[in-house]
Amino acid sequence: MSAPGAALLNRPSVSRSGSGAGGGRSLAMQLLLAVVSGGYAVGAALNWGSEELAEIMGDFGLSAAGLLAAVSCYTYARAIDSRERPAWLLFAFSSLMGASGNAVWGWYEVVLGQDVPKPSLADFAFLCFAPPAIVGLLVLAKRPVTRAGWVCLGLDSWLIGGSLLTLSWSLALAHAARTAQSGAPGSVPRAALSLAYPLLDIALVSMVLVLHFRRSETNRSAVNTAIAALALTVLSDALFTSPLLSAEYQSGQLLDAGWFAGSLLLAYAPWGARRSHTGPDPAAAARADRPHSRPITGSLPALTPYLAAAVCTLGILYNVVDGRKVDRMVVFTGCTVVLALVIRQGIMLLDNIALTQELAQKENHFRSLVQGSSDVIMIAAPTGTLRYVSPAAAGVYGRDAEELVGTELATLIHPDDLGRVVHEVRRFLAAPPTEEPTTRIECRFKSGGGEWLNVESTVNRHQGGLILNSRDVTERVRLQAQLQHSAEHDPLTDLPNRALFTRRVRQALTGRRAGDHSTAVLFIDLDGFKAVNDTIGHQAGDELLVEAARRLQDSVRAGDTAARLGGDEFAALILGDGSRDRSAREYQVHEIADRLRTTLSQPYRIAGSEVRVAASIGVAFADPGITPSDLMRNADLAMYRAKAGGKDRVEMYAPQMQAEVVRKAELAGRLRTALHEGEFALLHQPVVSLATGEVAAVAAQARWRSAQGILFTPAEFLRVAEYSEGASGSAAGPDASRTAELGRWLLEQAVEQAADRHRAGHDVPVAVRMTAQRLLDRAMPLGSVEALLTRHGLPSGALVLELAVSDPRVPFDDLERRLTALHRLGVGIALDGFGSGYAAISALRRLPVDMLKLDRGLVEGVVESPRLHKITAGLLRIANDLGMRSVADGVDLPEQVMALRAMGCTHGQGMAFSGPLDEYRLRRALVRGTFPVPGGAVQPALAGGSPGGSVVIRRGSHNETAVPPT
């Protein structure tokens, strides 16, 4: 046998030292029993030194031993709760009868000093010793399960008893029977008593022998000890009733040592039984697992009846050869023994025929099951060689069963799996069979075609070897591998997903790479991908993502990881090289990231057309003590910084990025608190006619009053909300809801205050800025604007909605229907930010616009930049040609007023006329009605300061405006 085959089924050594204190106590009790019995035998052999002591020890000593046995068996019988209790109670009664007989015998010999009469109460007690013991042995015997078994049990008992009776009758009992027939006075009782002792002993010996071969497996130690005790007692009785010793027997002789040892042995038996109940015997389990190696001992029960018949025959032949006349009792008993043997043989023959037929049926049944099973059943010998292989091996393994028989099991298992299989098999064989009857092993098995199949086997013990019930689970293993792959990879690009990428990052930061701080994580976002989806469709977008994933996978090294995190976001894990030069490593990783950016920014050929997108990449390094989530967060922050810095660039993470995020998060939290606690104020900036200086409208603007009394402009606090929306990855998050809530507050407050001014006689329209997304938001009911005007009593013509269209995903059809409904109602529509942003021409062509509001960027450079001057002039000509009013936002300088008026702009809004005003100052300005229009270097009449104060001209409209206390 080869070394792998020997290792597969080699059973590890089992320690036999588990008996512990229990074994030590047993040995001590056995030694004590031997010493006491030996001491009694020595004393009896020396006649105890005096005749009086001999009589006392021969009578009351035996009575004490019998009483001890009775108490021991009775105590044990009360302590147990099983079918054995009656047997031990009968043994206790039998020992009590023996103790009583010896006590009566001693009463006559020791106390009264006279011979024991025959018969006497002692003889009655001695006669009562055997029947309870016989019944008790029958209780302990293994009960037959069929009628034939009960008949065989009776026949076996008679074969043993009849044979012993034949032999005993020939040697001694015939003489006692003739004495009874002589007719002498008192001869009949004495003869009957002489016959009763040996006959009961013969019956007891028969039960002992039958029980020895039919004993139950439970409490074997106690049963064996009880059998030995009764056998020793019967042997002493036989010697006592023999003609050689019966006439010369006196109390205290050596023969009493046999009865004394028998009583002590029976007293010891229950304690051996108690130890056997403490738990399972590992040695017995091991013996049960080993194959039977003593067939001669196992056949002794079957030979016992024939040996008994042989003894009977020898007894008859002894009388014939010796020339004695054969007694009729001997002939009768011998004939009954032979008849019982013939009957038993016939019963056994019929049982064997029935068992043979049943065995053949079962064998055919199980052969059909094994051969018809789709699983492969194999039997491996203790040497590891296959002894049997079911025919299913041809279909499962592609190899004939005959070819596998004789093959070593270890040679069929994949070398990479052999060590694990050997360890599991040895552990299984070392475990107790009652605790672990089977085990399950999965490994790769060599098929006839040479490929390795995944096989799952249920393993059982079989005569020191193994039975393996195996099945091919290759498809299941493949399916599990596919499911595992699907759970860890992106279904579109087949790159690792976020979960697997996070685990790879965690592995890179732990283990042997824990001290390598040159590992880097790259977060990649495709700039302009949403426009691809919206213009040429999502199918083309998916193709672009697949191609980008392929480029990314081809660009990273073999040990690095490229992943798709979701949408158009990708990531790459660049494992460190152990470099301690941080600047050199940053330069190297920056070059890798820039190469990735260039690769991903190359044109894509999608659906027959060329598509271009850019890539913004953020890079973060594994600083000492950083966690995987923090490292990925840092790379994400760097990526957003790259997008905010102009896109299509690489940005390295710096600690101040996190500090800025924390600051903006705190500011966003304060913004949410301010929204709920009413810390916002509503200001209005006049919209002035550039021709006459009249106030044509007022533009509502929200301001946030901070705890320090500072008013933040919309550009400032809305930038916080927009950043929070971008960082969260969804505009529908909590911060988006805060922005929507702020928009609702602005619209309602502007309408409410405009209605109050209208009732006060100031019929100036109010302009409220609103995004197209907000106007189409499902959270805003379709008739909310109309209902708001009705509730506050503001004429619809007194409301102007300044619409900002900056998102290409806005559905123009829905927007056109909504604005048309409002325009028919009388609400004015202004196109905000004209000259920048998205879809200005489409908005002019499709939407019902009344007014164009020039973007602030055009107004700021209209004087200094000739190019901007021409662009602005062209846009204003478009407005004039379409018959629309035009409003210039951010008119802060007199030069801008004159230039815009010269180009045809009708209205202006800015610091050249007035800054944002609170309600008190606004009403004063409306009462006045006009603002001076600069014709030269003329200062504005009111610029947001106190009445009569000096006017300060400032660029931009992000300056803070103080609000007086109310």
**Amino acid symbol at 675:** L
Check whether 816 has a pLDDT greater than 70. Answer: yes
Higher pLDDT, 154 or 597: 597
Q: Is the dihedral of CA 337, 341, 343, 347 positive or negative?
A: positive
**Amino acid symbol at 917:** L
What stretches of 199-339 adopt beta strand conformation (E)?
none
pLDDT score at 726: 41
- Give residue-wise pLDDT tens across range 84-100: 788 888 888 988 988 88
Higher pLDDT, 683 or 126: 683
- CB-based contacts of 430: which residues, under 8 Å, 6+ apart? 11, 12, 14
- Give residue-wise pLDDT tens across range 431-453: 888 888 889 999 998 888 888 98
Look at residues 41, 77, 54 and name the one whose alpha carbon lies nearest to residue 266. 77
Q: Which of 225-239, 870-884, 936-950 has the lowest mean pLDDT?
A: 936-950
Query: What mean pLDDT do residues 656-668 have?
Result: 78
The answer to whether 687 and 679 have CB atoms below 8 angstroms apart is no
What's the number of CA atoms in the CB half-sphere (13 Å) around residue 495?
29
Check whether 340 has a pLDDT greater than 80. Answer: no
Mean per-residue pLDDT over the chain, rounded: 77
pLDDT score at 828: 92
Q: Which of 341-345, 455-459, 818-822 has the lowest mean pLDDT?
A: 341-345
pLDDT score at 966: 31
DSSP state at residue 851 = E
pLDDT score at 219: 59
DSSP letter string, 183-195: --TTHHHHHHHHH
Q: What angle do CA 787, 792, 796 make, to 5 degrees?
A: 65
Look at residues 787, 848, 851 and name the one whose alpha carbon lies nearest to residue 812. 848
Check whether 315 has a pLDDT greater than 70. Answer: no
pLDDT score at 489: 92
DSSP letter string, 313-348: HHHHHHHHHTTPPPPHHHHHHHHHHHHHHHHHHHHH
Q: Which of 116-125, 592-601, 653-662 has the lowest mean pLDDT?
A: 116-125
Q: Which of 152-156, 373-377, 626-630 has the lowest mean pLDDT?
A: 152-156
Distances (CA, A) of 457 to 413, 439, 440, 553, 865: 12, 8, 6, 40, 85
- Give residue-wise pLDDT tens across range 132-156: 877 777 777 666 667 776 777 677 6
Check whether 19 has a pLDDT greater than 50. Answer: no
Tokens 């025929």 belong to residue:
353
User: What is the Cα–Cα distance from 759 to 762, expressed in whole angstroms?
Assistant: 7
As a whole-number percent, the residues of the chain with pLDDT over 70 amount to: 72
Check whether 361 has a pLDDT greater than 90. Answer: no
- Give residue-wise pLDDT tens across range 395-412: 888 888 888 888 888 888
DSSP state at residue 663 = H
pLDDT score at 744: 83
Q: Is 389 exposed, middle or buried (0-12, 13-18, 19+ CB in 10 A)?
A: buried
pLDDT score at 618: 94
And the tokens for 700?
């509502």
pLDDT score at 472: 86
User: What is the Cα–Cα distance from 629 to 790, expressed in whole angstroms?
Assistant: 53
Contacts 24+ apart (CB under 8 A), 659-667: 661/637, 661/727, 664/720, 664/723, 664/724, 665/724, 667/717, 667/720
- Give residue-wise pLDDT tens across range 886-899: 999 999 999 999 99
Check whether 732 has a pLDDT greater than 70. Answer: no
Q: Is 821 exposed, middle or buried (0-12, 13-18, 19+ CB in 10 A)?
A: middle
pLDDT score at 22: 55
Confidence tier at 526 by pLDDT (50, 70, 90): very high
pLDDT score at 246: 56
Check whether 617 has a pLDDT greater than 80. Answer: yes
Query: What mean pLDDT do residues 417-422 have?
Result: 90
pLDDT score at 9: 57
Check whether 23 has a pLDDT greater than 70. Answer: no
Confidence tier at 801 by pLDDT (50, 70, 90): very high
Check whether 275 has a pLDDT greater than 90. Answer: no
pLDDT score at 837: 59
As a whole-number percent, the residues of the chain with pLDDT over 90 amount to: 19
Query: What mean pLDDT do residues 669-691 have?
Result: 83
And the tokens for 433?
């069979």
pTM (2 decimals)? 0.49
Check whether 639 has a pLDDT greater than 90. Answer: yes
- Give residue-wise pLDDT tens across range 734-764: 445 556 777 888 899 999 999 999 999 998 9
Check whether 244 has a pLDDT greater than 80. Answer: no
Query: What mean pLDDT do residues 630-649 have?
Result: 90
Check whether 51 has a pLDDT greater than 90. Answer: no
Higher pLDDT, 33 or 227: 33
Phi-psi region of 614 (alpha: psi -120 to 50; beta: other; left: phi over 0): beta
